[in-house]
Amino acid sequence: MKRALILLLAVAAPLSAARAPLGTFGRWGAFRDDGPTRCFAIAEPVQTVRGGTERGFVTVTRWPAANVRGELYVRLSRPKHPRAAVTLSVGERRFRLTAGPSDAWAVDPAADRAIVAAMRSGRSLSVESIAASGRPFVDAYALTGAATAIDTAALACSR
């Protein structure tokens, strides 16, 4: 599992000599980068329905210098159709995300807070859209360890 997180980290952001692993919690990892300082919790999908062509992941990040807390970012497992919506689901809660060609994020800080709150009490999270090929796809994430990883990252950036 730690090997998978290290590989995921290499895909998620450029390697930095100042990157510090903070821990692995269930299927989630927590990390701190310096220069500029940011701390984040990150996970990769446990399942990608209809196969992905890219390495998907979800992060919840804190950027202290920009006063950003709990910002959600999703890297999709495949490029989406230009007109397709991206929906994130946690339990019965559904959130429409703002999306780029291969990524998505919450529409505003209030949505970030609502999504993270839902993640804290949920068992799984899914992100769904329509691929550039026109076929629907779903990336599914386990939320075991997510709250602890998010809190660990937040504490590391509050120092």
- pLDDT digits 0-9 by tens, 35-79: 888 999 999 999 776 666 678 999 999 988 888 889 999 999 999
Are 73 and 103 in contact by the 8 Å Cβ rule? The answer is yes
Query: CB neighbours of 33 closer than 8 A, spacing ≥ 6?
Result: 13, 16, 18, 19, 20, 39, 40
* Among the listed residues 79, 96, 93, 94, the one whose alpha carbon sits nearest the alpha carbon of residue 130: 79
Token representation of residue 89: 């689901």
How many whole angstroms separate alpha carbon 22 and alpha carbon 149? 8
pTM of structure: 0.85
pLDDT of residue 36: 86
The DSSP output letter for 145 is: T
Three-state DSSP at 59 gives strand
- 109-121 and 146-158 helices cross at what angle (nearest 10)? 130
- pLDDT digits 0-9 by tens, 70-122: 999 999 999 999 999 999 999 999 999 999 999 999 999 999 999 999 999 99
